[in-house]
Structure 1
């Protein structure tokens, strides 16, 4: 480029601009050769600037020291750790259902009933038997009191008759008759006590039978075990539900988490208790806070991912099971870390490295990388020094010793 400018300047200086034009017009070869020469010169300039000839154009950056705030990104689905299946403990026809999908429920709330059939009549019968046994027990108690009173009187008579006999006022037969009456009175007391125990046992059994029927009727009630939300109503009124069949599915909103898939190559450094930011695909304007509460021990050999369960700590009301969510996990800060743009790191033969520029040429250098950040930086643990210049982008193939020219953009 410079030599073309020099020739043109020399010609203009020698013959002047007007003379040069007359000279070119009179010289057929120069008339057509100079434009061609200028065209080739322009083409050469364009090829040089685009990097087709000359040094390869590259965008470069320097290795710097600073504090990195690394994060790991993953995609997951909203799930509930605690899910409850509510159904009858015995087979029966559904009589009433009081809530539907999406309704909020409280612990202990009756949300449905199974048809009791003739259970109310049976409860009434058992109650009547209980009342009868209670009456019989009360009568037996009264009989005991009466028998004890008569026995006390008989015992007192024995003492009086004994004194009279010792004084010779009565015969031995009269004393024997009174002693026999006392024994009969004691036997009546013993019989009354035995009868009371029998009636009391019957009363206890009748009460147990009655309470058993009450509890059995309670078993026909469908009751929410927790404060939560109904996620499914699987049956309708009039349907027959067998024992153990789920009529409702209820989740505890306090146990919502996002089962997040993390690439195995990014799993290093993730630990329990780390915080995360959760963005639901259904509401991308809202940022939810999260915390890692479980690290799955088994990875997916097909997708090469591992599951991380991130609990939603500020659960909103509009979260639905199965919602997709973007999860960004915050790792500990890397202080005084040497870092370069992540795009500068290339993999050659399975090993990470960077192209370092020295004296206008590129040389490949193997490095060991650390944490990465969402803004596109990666920590360099060894292989580089602060201030080293590395290639970030290049449209040309780079090999060891390739001449390069740094530009601000490609």
Structure 2
């Protein structure tokens, strides 16, 4: 059977189609869906990293004093306002005395009356003592009966008891007067330390209960940061570590600080560890209480071991690891990771020995069968 003879036109058409098909196949393999995936790689090196912890906190006062009356009453005057600096012992205001002055006057009058009663008791006691001595002598001379002498001694005992009662009465009245005077002295609201008024909770004429704060004073030198850190990364956090404190409103950058202590109670709801940090030098002007601050705590440098950028880590099949290049092919290596620093470098405790080539970035997700093309920079990304 003879094959049909192709015409010249058909041959020319076939000759044109074949190069186009080859060109299409080449484009599909090089830049189409079948093209190799562009990746960038790094060489794993052993190095020491300086880990750091990042946290959020707020400015608080370590020492705060809430000044108010020790008993219920009406606020008579208040001489300070929010933002005023006060000195220790300075009178900030006073409560209305109400009837305290009258009560003190009444106690003074009662003491005067008791002192007069004491003088009368002393006179009776001296008279009874003289009578008892005289009748005692007469009884010895048998000039009076024994019963009469005994009656005089009994009168002396009664006079002594009356004198003691009069003295006790004076001491009681003096103690009551001193208590009212002490209460009168507590009417003045006095600053316990040099500080700054941060709150004024009442105005003159307001009726207050015992213990209610009228003004709040803080010690400006006791400002600290109440910071919180994620418990997952808070290992190694301890007192004495250096830190950088960046106030939310601070245009001057970070302030040097130190971790004063870690709190023994963590937040179980937010899963955060709390710590207190102090400024090495207080900012000027002082930041307001409650202002947010970003805190970076610098941990001691770690021993040299393999370290990789965090960007190289992938999760495959529920395991964290990296894609290694082994003889030009991809191989996934699960890793046991250690601490990290704020530059994005992570320690590798197990899984890499150093010197391996691992994928840093890829333009698509990788698999063990992916064809790759190593480049210095993936097209379409920022240099």
After TM superposition, is the score higher than 0.5? yes
Q: 1:310 aligns with which of 276, 289, 295?
A: 276
- How far does the alpha carbon of each residue in 1:266-315 deviate from its partner, in whole angstroms, 9 at most, with x for none? 23444566553322112252414131331543333xxx541413232545
- Equivalence for 2:358: 390
Q: 2:213 aligns with which of 246, 263, 268?
A: 246
Would the alpha carbon gap of residues 232 and 51 (structure 1) be closer, same or farther in structure 2, given more than 3 Å must change? farther
Post-superposition offset of 1:372: 0.7
Paired with 1:51 and 1:127, the residues of 2 have a C-alpha distance of 107
SS of residue paired to 2:255:
strand
Q: 1:281 aligns with which of 237, 244, 248?
A: 248
Contact 1:80 1:251 in 2 (8 A): yes
Contact 1:62 1:388 in 2 (8 A): yes
SS of residue paired to 2:258:
strand
1:210 aligned onto 2:177: yes
Q: 1:158 aligns with which of 133, 138, 142?
A: 138
Post-superposition offset of 1:327: 0.9
| TM-score (normalizing by structure 1) | 0.73
Equivalenced residues, count: 354
Paired with 2:308 and 2:97, the residues of 1 have a C-alpha distance of 74
Would the alpha carbon gap of residues 220 and 270 (structure 1) be closer, same or farther in structure 2, given more than 3 Å must change? same
- Equivalence for 1:95: 76
- Equivalence for 2:308: 340
What is the root-mean-square deviation of aligned Cα atoms in Å?
3.7
- Equivalence for 2:266: 297
- Equivalence for 1:4: none
Post-superposition offset of 1:324: 0.5
Q: 2:67 aligns with which of 78, 81, 86?
A: 86
Post-superposition offset of 1:95: 0.6
1:350 aligned onto 2:331: no
- Equivalence for 1:3: none
- Equivalence for 2:227: 260
Post-superposition offset of 1:254: 6.3
Paired with 1:265 and 1:348, the residues of 2 have a C-alpha distance of 22
Q: 1:115 aligns with which of 96, 99, 102?
A: 96
Could you list the runs of 5+ residues in structure 2 that have no partner in the other structure? 1-15, 379-383
SS of residue paired to 1:202:
helix
| TM-score (normalizing by structure 2) | 0.77
Post-superposition offset of 1:63: 1.8
Paired with 2:290 and 2:199, the residues of 1 have a C-alpha distance of 13
Paired with 2:232 and 2:312, the residues of 1 have a C-alpha distance of 18
Higher radius of gyration, 1 or 2: 1
- Equivalence for 1:71: 52
- Equivalence for 1:199: 166
Contact 2:85 2:195 in 1 (8 A): yes
Would the alpha carbon gap of residues 101 and 144 (structure 1) be closer, same or farther in structure 2, given more than 3 Å must change? same
Post-superposition offset of 1:352: 1.4
Could you list the runs of 5+ residues in structure 1 that have no partner in the other structure? 1-32, 163-171
Q: 1:134 aligns with which of 115, 128, 131?
A: 115
Paired with 1:108 and 1:58, the residues of 2 have a C-alpha distance of 72
Deviates more, 1:68-77 or 1:104-113: 104-113
Paired with 1:312 and 1:61, the residues of 2 have a C-alpha distance of 40
Paired with 2:265 and 2:316, the residues of 1 have a C-alpha distance of 32
Contact 2:240 2:258 in 1 (8 A): no
Contact 1:230 1:251 in 2 (8 A): yes
- Equivalence for 2:6: none
- How far does the alpha carbon of each residue in 1:237-256 deviate from its partner, in whole angstroms, 9 at most, with x for none? 12222344332234455664
Contact 1:106 1:227 in 2 (8 A): yes
Post-superposition offset of 1:203: 0.5
Paired with 1:280 and 1:51, the residues of 2 have a C-alpha distance of 51
Contact 2:227 2:277 in 1 (8 A): no
